[in-house]
Amino acid sequence: MCGIFAVCNYQGDVDAYRQRALYLSRKIRHRGPDWSGCHVVKNNIMCHERLAIVGVDSGAQPLVSEDGNLVLCVNGEIYNHKHLRNQLKKPHHFKTSSDCEVIMHMYDEMGTDLVNHLDGMFSFVLLDVKRNRVVAARDPIGITTLYYGWNSKMPETVYFSSELKCLNEECDKILAFPPGHVYDSETQETTRWFNPTWWDGSKVPSNPVDYKLLRESLEKAVRKRLMAEVPYGVLLSGGLDSSLIAAIAAREAEKIAQGNGDNDDDNFDESGPKCWPGVHSFSVGLPGSPDLLAAREVAKYLKTIHHEYTFTIQEALDAVSDVIYHLETYDVTTIRASTPMYLLSRKIKAMGVKMVLSGEGSDEVFGGYLYFHQAPDAASFHSECVDRVKNLHTADCLRANKSTMAWGLEARVPFLDKEFLEVAMNIAPEEKRPNKAEGRMEKYIIRKAFDTSDDPSAKPYLPDNILWRQKEQFSDGVGYSWIDSLKAVSENKVSSEELAQAGSRWSKDTPDTKEAYMYRVMFEQWFPQPACTASVVRWIPRADWGCPSDPSGRAQKVHEQAYEEKK
């Protein structure tokens, strides 16, 4: 991934503003430490901070077409770029081997309809110089981040950026660019382009689970994401989701390294395992934490090159303010989970690794969070799954993107592959719902899809105790004392009187705990402008399902019940 900053239809002296634009773009250089680019044409400025993963030696941005008419800045990866090149109808001159350049040539042939053909995670801003037209788009689920903003003194100017911090000094209105949408300056409208069959959560699907299709769809999603020309690895917490991704990646890398990949299939770019054979895995936690122990077992089983890191409570507490700066949110559960990921990402980048696979999205797709046990019926369960997937860009996707990109590390998330979602989100919720009486724990069907116990000749993907391990939310699994320490620190930092007066200080998203109050103060220190809160969304558990207000998995009664039963 990379960093984008663009100013379109600037209503002042654009040449004089160039230095200011470079200063603002530099605020997200952590996203793209490999190169910086700036292109000014007419009254538009396009800036780019590059993290080079594909087309390393030739893919610097902004990309400019041969005739100078099209200028493109992209953040992300287009996994089917080879296929898209082969589908172009006209002859085009490709100046780079980057996976992103094809967007520019597709626009030349099909206009904004190009977004429907992209398979990947992406945000881009494209300038059509002749028409002075700007087109911007974001991937279906919002794995990549994108914001746009306006200044009331220059209402015709639109600012775009990968992060809020480029815009807060310039704009008095800032919004998160909605996932699965495209903006067209000619209409000044932002319209939805991503319309999958499962988008309406009120329509309850009835498809029975096809375990083979479910397994093969996830395997395909992982394989696409092995595209890289740089060292890569997998984030391995030892939980089900990251362990499955690691198991599939290890199998795929072995197949490709042995020459058993589908080399004739232009939907895949197998550069990763070819360039960097052997899968590296990375885990983080407090000493002796549940995740570290489980990850160690998985890595040993999969024979990955494993790297284990520990952190102290004080190191994590010292990082919280910086984490909020990079996250650009005050959501409690996002900050809790992001801090260990932020610390781990720095260690990974120090090793020279630039890309990792991660397990985000599975809990939303399959209703894996422990509070889903309290769903009153199948329709409610399904509706909640759809809502959580739709809002991933405000929580887990935001965490995975910004915690890693704070150090120039890219995270790819196979569970949010749009083809995989078409399969998984159309399964009847009765198949997904946990049912203690029937022995069906959370995420039963994805576990069962990778359970080879009925085939003695098949090599198991994972050990049974990992495949059937109970859910631990990442902020819990790194060590229970992490969240306990955050609560204790906030008790000392925030008085009961301050908390009681929180409503008069913040009418929007009023903190209801001292921990939430502490984060809101830190957020305001970095982002004091009122416009900065418009893009923040707090996740609050389902009180109408009888869930406690604390988002920790340990707060759910099913967590303790499961451990009591093991004693």
Is 358 one of the annotated binding-site residues? yes
> 261 vs 54, 253, 354, CA distance in Å?
19, 9, 23
Whether residues 248 and 352 fall in one domain: yes
Q: In this structure, what are the phi and psi dihedrals at residue 461, rounded to the nearest 5 degrees? A: -70, -40
Cα 367 from chain centroid (whole Å): 18
pLDDT, tens digit (0-9, with 9 covering 90-100), for 373-401 = 999 999 999 999 999 999 999 999 999 99
Whether residues 402 and 299 fall in one domain: yes
Work out the average pLDDT over 232-243: 95
Residue with tokens 């087109």: 135
> 346 vs 376, 399, 532, CA distance in Å?
42, 15, 26
* pTM (two decimals): 0.94
Q: Which residues 6+ apart lie within 8 Å of 352 measured at CB?
A: 231
Total length of the chain = 567
Can you give the pLDDT at residue 75? 97
Whether residues 392 and 464 fall in one domain: yes
Whether residues 167 and 243 fall in one domain: no
Strand partners, 174: 149
Q: CB–CB of 106/117 below 8 Å?
A: yes
CA atoms within 13 A on the CB side of 115: 25
Chosen domain end from 192, 224, 239? 192
Confidence of residue 125 (pLDDT cuts 50, 70, 90): very high
ω into 62 cis (within 30 of 0): yes
Structural domain includes residue 496: no
Strand partners, 323: none
Q: Which residues 6+ apart lie within 8 Å of 348 measured at CB?
A: 233, 282, 307, 356, 407, 409
Distance in angstroms (rounded) separating the CA atoms of residues 221 and 245:
10
Structural domain includes residue 493: no
Can you give the pLDDT at residue 219? 98
Q: In this structure, what are the phi and psi dihedrals at residue 32, rounded to the nearest 5 degrees? A: -145, 75
Whether residues 219 and 135 fall in one domain: no
Work out the average pLDDT over 58-77: 93
Q: CB–CB of 295/283 below 8 Å?
A: yes
Distance in angstroms (rounded) separating the CA atoms of residues 176 and 164:
8
Q: Which residues 6+ apart lie within 8 Å of 548 measured at CB?
A: 541, 555, 556
Number of structural domains found in the chain: 2
> 192 vs 6, 264, 542, CA distance in Å?
21, 34, 28
Structural domain includes residue 494: no
Locate 254 and state its tokens: 């072995």
Whether residues 387 and 477 fall in one domain: yes
Whether residues 169 and 95 fall in one domain: yes
Whether residues 473 and 350 fall in one domain: yes
Buried b (16+ CB within 10 A) or exposed e, 253-290: beebeeeebeeeeeebbbbbbbebeebbbbbbbbeebb
Structural domain includes residue 322: yes
pLDDT, tens digit (0-9, with 9 covering 90-100), for 524-538 = 999 999 999 999 999
Is 359 one of the annotated binding-site residues? yes
Work out the average pLDDT over 537-553: 82
Whether residues 182 and 240 fall in one domain: no
Whether residues 162 and 217 fall in one domain: no
Distance in angstroms (rounded) separating the CA atoms of residues 175 and 394:
12
Q: Catalytic residue at 2?
A: yes
Per DSSP, the three-state class of 121 is strand
Structural domain includes residue 467: yes
Sort 466 into a burial class: Cβ within 10 Å, 0-12 / 13-18 / 19+.
Answer: buried
Whether residues 168 and 219 fall in one domain: no
DSSP state, 112? G
Work out the average pLDDT over 449-461: 95
Can you give the pLDDT at residue 563? 39
Chosen domain end from 158, 192, 226? 192
Chosen domain end from 192, 226, 247? 192
Instruction: Compute the chain's Rg from CA coordinates.
Output: 23
Strand partners, 190: 183
Query: CATH no. for residue 114?
Result: 3.60.20.10
Work out the average pLDDT over 322-344: 97
Q: CB–CB of 59/98 below 8 Å?
A: yes
Confidence of residue 564 (pLDDT cuts 50, 70, 90): very low
Structural domain includes residue 492: no
3-state SS of 260-306? CCCCCCCCCCCHHHHHCCCCEEEEEECCCCHHHHHHHHHHHHHCCEE
pLDDT greater than 50 at residue 145? yes
Structural domain includes residue 424: no
Query: CATH no. for residue 374?
Result: 3.40.50.620
Whether residues 83 and 136 fall in one domain: yes
Confidence of residue 56 (pLDDT cuts 50, 70, 90): confident
Domain around 333: 211-418+446-487+505-566
Can you give the pLDDT at residue 559? 46
pLDDT greater than 80 at residue 245? yes
Closest CA to 557 of 512, 545, 511: 545
Buried b (16+ CB within 10 A) or exposed e, 297-324: bbbebbebebbbebbebeebeebbeebb
pLDDT, tens digit (0-9, with 9 covering 90-100), for 465-487 = 999 988 665 556 676 899 999 99
Is 202 one of the annotated binding-site residues? no
Structural domain includes residue 436: no
